[in-house]
Amino acid sequence: MLKEQLFAKPITEIIKKRLSVRSYLSQPLSPEMKEALSRFFSILRGPFGGTVRVELIERDLALKELNAKLGTYGVISGASTYAVAVVEKADRDLEDFGYCLEKVILYAASIGLGTCWLGGTFKKSEFAKAIGQEDHEILPCITPIGYPSSRKSLIDFAMRYAAGSKNRKSWNELFFNGDFSHGLSEPEAGIYKTPLEMLRLAPSASNKQPWRIVKGTNQTHFYLQHTKGYAKMLAYDLQRVDMGIAMCHFELTAKELGIIGKWHISAPGNISTPQDTEYIVSWVEGI
Ligand SMILES: Cc1cc2nc3c(=O)[nH]c(=O)nc-3n(C[C@H](O)[C@H](O)[C@H](O)COP(=O)(O)O)c2cc1C
């Protein structure tokens, strides 16, 4: 079994530790940290083939933009650096975006840095200008990246409380065996127990956790259960970004366990889907 560990620490440890950080020390990132991050940015390709460009943007600009653009949802204190990312417009662009930026976020967590996904409208913003966003690219989210402050701001507490950030749905709400009418138990998940558990801990917009997984014999099917009306409120369908994030957690954990597999789009014809639930992709074992 070829076990692929991407980071210096085990992925399970990183995933369990990561959380959204909204209060930062104002201290800028060290040049070594910046260099390590930039090196990591140069190798980002999503599971659907899209390439994601990521750049670090410095503080003054970032703070000005955040106050102006994100209103109450994205109140971040003290961050001096932001990671800004764009993806080429394509069929599964938002999923590729989520997958790649989450890899950056997990890498940042592995070297002790805090982050927080922020979704918004960044069109024609200073962020878009700074990264040189082209017409064929989209910029759906950014993240502060920096040293977490041990003192949380009030707004940090309020945001975590409002989104119920420490809670996650239970296995039987998220994972299914064969079809949507049978829940998947941990023993039934077999070698996928840990990859699924790591997926369950993934961050998602407003902590909605829209991923639903159906395990077959040697395929694991990924579905997106859209929260009614959610995408309409936003510039981009952030739940598709959530899906890419979940794929990232699942794949990195599977690979680290030595499980061989690939992403493949072929909707199983025999599984009837609940309302508002859309097939996205399958993980096919052993190809
Ligand atoms: C795509 C996406 C967009 C998000 N947008 C925001 C945002 O604009 N502001 C914010 O404070 N948190 C945002 N979050 C963070 C979520 O609220 C957070 O991940 C969730 O509540 C789970 O908490 P945790 O990350 O601490 O585990 C976003 C998360 C994702 C995945």
Burial class from Cβ neighbours inside 10 Å (0-12, 13-18, 19+) for residue 61 reads middle
**Tens-digit pLDDT profile for residues 146-202:** 999 998 888 888 888 888 888 999 999 999 999 999 999 999 999 999 999 999 999
pLDDT at 275 over 60: yes
Q: How far is the CA of 43 from the centre of ligand 1 (A)?
A: 24
Ligand 1 atom 8: the closest Cα is on which residue?
A: 118
**Tens-digit pLDDT profile for residues 111-139:** 999 999 999 878 778 889 999 999 999 99
Mutational pocket test of ligand 1: of 69, 100, 206, the residue with most ligand atoms within 8 Å of the beta carbon: 206
Helix (H, G, I), strand (E, B) or coil at 97: helix
Helix (H, G, I), strand (E, B) or coil at 208: coil
Query: What region, left, alpha or beta, does residue 55 occupy, with left being phi > 0 and alpha being psi -120 to 50 degrees?
Result: beta
Exposure class string for 180-194: b at 16+ Cβ within 10 A, else e? beeebeeeebeebbb
What confidence category does residue 5 fall into, taking pLDDT thresholds of 50, 70 and 90?
confident
pLDDT at 60 over 80: no
Q: How many C-beta atoms lie closer than 10 Å to residue 89's C-beta?
A: 13
- pTM listed for this prediction: 0.95
Ligand 1 atom 29: the closest Cα is on which residue?
A: 205
- Taking each helix axis from N to C end, the angle separating 31-41 and 93-110, rounded to the nearest 10 degrees, works out to 150
Catalogue all structural domains in the chain, each as residue range(s) with its CATH number: 20-160 (3.40.109.10), 171-285 (3.40.109.30)
Mean per-residue pLDDT, 16-37: 94
